[in-house]
Amino acid sequence: MAVALPIADLVNRLPAAAQAGIWMTSAGATFTGMMAIAKHVSPDLHVFEISLLRAVFGLMFMVPFVVRHRMNALRTRNTPGLMLRGALAFGTNVCLFSAAALIAFADIAAIAFTRPIFASLAAIVVLHETARGRRWTAIAAGFTGAMIVVRPGFADINAGVAFAFGAVALQVVNSVLLKYLTYSDSPDTIALYQPIYSIPFALVPALFVWVTPTWEHVAWFVLMGFLGMLTQRALSRAYASADASLVVAMDFMRLPVAALIGFAFFSQVPVVWVWVGGAVIVASTILLTRRETRAVDVPTPRPPAG
């Protein structure tokens, strides 16, 4: 009698692009659910405490995995990289949870689409990569899409928008680091170490704003920890299954997921400009991704011998 395969094994049988799409959609759904919980408890608890408890309860759900693998999951060849990812994760969570308390989930998702644009700009400025017409066109289109979403001068710009863009900047660095870490460690090991190294960074500021959570809060954080664990495992698998540029491009599927969750639980109805701006950003991302893919696929001509 055939034994039912785990979901991960079934997904791994699909083409790389399909794997990345499934894992990124799953990560978008679970992470938006986690932000919904953060928004629900934010009137009672500071964002530093929320970030700390999210990491603690997320780690709790990873313990059975460690026990099952007889501590092998703790073996790593890149401790500094994992520590840096823990710090980046803490900063990203603070920004995202702060944004979730102030603006709609769909707005956050649309702003998150600018990650490839930020990444491309970083490559030009920091790595001194050559930028030609198509890349600049994609960057300009992505910036235009972001301005359509936030509509400066036509809509109130609050701190939530700034927090969302701050999270994007940190995620750009984290995405590159995550792909780099998959060369030395398994996706589950990477996911395991994120809460381990996030806890020390979150603990110090949380102590200054600590409020003892109620049992209701604890129940919400148990669910948040579970969703956070699923998010990290899905993200790690997405980056292990395909090139980073393809994985980031697949991220556009989080907009309808975020809009649905925001409407179902908080009656958030995204204005039409969020969808228009999101579509422009997605188009620019696809253009940018195709440009980068062709740049990798097409070999550089060699000068004639002699």
Q: pLDDT band at 1, cuts 50/70/90?
A: very low
The answer to the question of residue 86 being in a domain is yes
Phi and psi at residue 293, to the nearest 5°: -65, -45
Report whether pLDDT(43) > 80: yes
Judged by DSSP in three states, 29 sits in: helix
Q: Which has more confidence, 188 or 224?
A: 224
The stretch 45-70 carries a mean pLDDT of: 84
Query: What local confidence, expressed as pLDDT, does residue 205 receive?
Result: 93
Q: How many domains does the chain have?
A: 1
The answer to the question of residue 189 being in a domain is yes
The stretch 254-274 carries a mean pLDDT of: 71
Compute the Cα dihedral for 97, 174, 158, 231 and give only its sign. Answer: negative
The answer to the question of residue 8 being in a domain is no
Q: Hey, what are 85's tokens?
A: 């990812």
Q: Which has more confidence, 89 or 115?
A: 89
The stretch 52-62 carries a mean pLDDT of: 86
Cα–Cα distance between 75 and 77 in angstroms, integer? Answer: 7
Q: Hey, what are 67's tokens?
A: 């026990």
The stretch 183-208 carries a mean pLDDT of: 86
CB 111 within 8 A of CB 243: no
Q: pLDDT band at 229, cuts 50/70/90?
A: confident
User: pLDDT (tens digit, 9 = 90+) per residue, 84-105?
Assistant: 989 998 999 899 899 988 888 8
Query: What local confidence, expressed as pLDDT, does residue 3 receive?
Result: 40
Q: What DSSP designation does 127 have?
A: S
Cα–Cα distance between 161 and 140 in angstroms, integer? Answer: 19
Report whether pLDDT(136) > 70: no
The answer to the question of residue 9 being in a domain is no
Structural domain of 130:
15-293
Q: Which has more confidence, 174 or 46?
A: 46
Compute the 3-state secondary structure of the chain and give helix, strand, coil in percent, each to the nearest 5.
75, 0, 25
Report whether pLDDT(270) > 60: yes
The answer to the question of residue 190 being in a domain is yes
**Which residue has tokens 């395969």?**
5
Of 22-31, 88-97, 112-121, 145-154, the range with the highest mean pLDDT is 88-97
Q: Which has more confidence, 133 or 51?
A: 51
Q: pLDDT band at 242, cuts 50/70/90?
A: confident
Query: What local confidence, expressed as pLDDT, does residue 306 receive?
Result: 36
The stretch 184-199 carries a mean pLDDT of: 82
The average confidence (pLDDT) of the chain is: 76
Query: What local confidence, expressed as pLDDT, does residue 134 receive?
Result: 64
Q: pLDDT band at 128, cuts 50/70/90?
A: low
CB 105 within 8 A of CB 258: yes
The answer to the question of residue 300 being in a domain is no
Report whether pLDDT(200) > 60: yes
> Which residues does residue 155 pair with via DSSP β-bridges, in sequence order?
152
The answer to the question of residue 28 being in a domain is yes
Q: Hey, what are 65's tokens?
A: 């995995």
Report whether pLDDT(46) > 90: yes
Query: What local confidence, expressed as pLDDT, does residue 237 receive?
Result: 81
Report whether pLDDT(235) > 60: yes
User: pLDDT (tens digit, 9 = 90+) per residue, 2-34?
Assistant: 444 466 667 666 777 777 778 888 888 888 888
Query: What local confidence, expressed as pLDDT, does residue 133 receive?
Result: 62
How far the first Cα of the chain sits from its last, in Å, is 66
Q: Residue 147: CB partners within 8 Å, gap ≥ 6? A: 277
Q: Residue 249: CB partners within 8 Å, gap ≥ 6? A: 116, 285, 286, 289
The stretch 110-139 carries a mean pLDDT of: 67
Query: What local confidence, expressed as pLDDT, does residue 230 receive?
Result: 84
Helix H or strand E encompassing 84 = helix 79-100
Q: Hey, what are 130's tokens?
A: 């050559």
Instruction: Give the angle subtended at the CA of 80 by the CAs of 289 and 191, to the nearest 5°.
Output: 60
CB 234 within 8 A of CB 8: no
The answer to the question of residue 4 being in a domain is no
Closest alpha carbon to 198 in 90, 301, 108, 298: 90
Residue 267 Rama label (left phi>0; alpha psi -120 to 50; beta): left
Cα–Cα distance between 253 and 274 in angstroms, integer? Answer: 14
Q: What CA–CA distances, in Å, run from 76 to 71, 80, 186, 222?
A: 11, 10, 9, 27
Judged by DSSP in three states, 23 sits in: helix
